[in-house]
Amino acid sequence: MVIATYRFPSGVDAGRQAEIIAIGQTLGSADARFAGREQALAACRGQVLEVRADGDGARAQVAFPAANTEYDIGTLLTMVFGKYSLAGPARLVDLRLPPDFGTRPRFGIAGLRARLGVAGRPLLMAIFKPALGLTAADHATLLRAVADTELDLVKDDEILGNLAQAPTRERLRACRPVIEAIRDRRGRDFLYAVNVTGRADTLLATARALVAEGANALLLNVLVYGYPMLEALARDPAIGVPIIAHPALAGALALAPDHGIDYALVLGRLMRHAGADVVLHPARFGSLPFSAADESRVITALTDSDDHWPAVFPGPSAGIKPAIVPALLADYGRDLVINAGSAIFDAATGPKAAVESFFAAMDA
């Protein structure tokens, strides 16, 4: 079974709405016109498990047969919240899934640590800055500026697509010799997450071509392209590299308090069950408004103990500076990918010294 929890604000009849969800999101009709089909219809029907007060509103739990889905995130979301999301004030705040539901991350925390040969500390990732206006050769120049550090990953900015100023393959070709030199120097891997963009009918082929040309990690704007695209990338045997999920558009789904889907699902459980290895999210200490409670729930959803499903890396982002690293580690431990752009590539001290400042902050 899939168990979904909804929160309704004051003034909404939560019990009635839960019954509407249980029928409307499964059978779609309570009219039993098909004699002899009662058992089959009952097997598809949602069931209200609980309705209880919650502050000035109420919560309701509804159980759905997992067999109503194709065990993917697309049919899951269509079932638990699809049409009903248009019905008025209601927020999807939790999902409990069967052990085998979704697409497993290829790496997760354990696999990515093994791939990079890093244990016992957070991973550090840089973002190429400026985001736009650079050539492929400029990207290689930026990468050479941090080549003598212990930086673990670098990624494209999510805004940068396959643009004429620096086509994706040209960026990869320009950076590959630097990546290989970094790997040879320190005897462990270094990842460059290339932003995969384009129309849906070409995106998988683009990702395969990039990996065939040497891309060793991918960045995907998951909420723009959809969880099913993330699942397709994570399942494809011709890809097989770590996938970093960017949170672009998450606020449109999660920010309104009485509508949408909770951040812990949008950036947490759903990303983890769609195959992401690293999920970027705003840090409460950073430049975007993000509450401590939201950040804690996202990180818990990505890393909590689950015997059936790998934990994946949270990636605190947006305005990350060395000064806030000790607080991040104190709150959430060391299973983090610390993600910084301007604080590295725009640092007055230069990118190399900035990276070293982040590592010093980890040891503070």
Active-site residues, by number, are: 83
Dihedral sign for Cα atoms in the order 172, 178, 182, 187: positive
**Residue 277 CA: distances (Å) to CA of 154, 205, 227:** 15, 20, 13
Provide the 8-state DSSP code for 289.
-
Query: What CA–CA distance (Å, rounded) separates 281 from 320?
Result: 11
Strand residues in 21-79 grouped as ranges (E): 47-54, 57-64
β-strand pairing of 47-54 with 57-64: antiparallel
Picking from 190, 189, 211, the residue whose alpha carbon sits closest to that of residue 143 is 190
Strand residues in the chain grouped as ranges (E): 2-8, 47-54, 57-64, 91-96, 123-127, 153-155, 191-195, 217-221, 243-246, 278-282, 313-317, 337-340
β-strand pairing of 217-221 with 47-54: unpaired
Query: What CA–CA distance (Å, rounded) separates 112 from 108?
Result: 6
Which residues make Cβ contacts (< 8 Å) with residue 143, sequence separation at least 6?
154, 175, 178, 179, 192
What tokens were used for 15? 């019990």
In residues, how long is the chain?
364
Contact 82, 90 (CB under 8 A): no
β-sheet bridge partners, residue 243:
218
Query: What CA–CA distance (Å, rounded) separates 45 from 63?
Result: 9
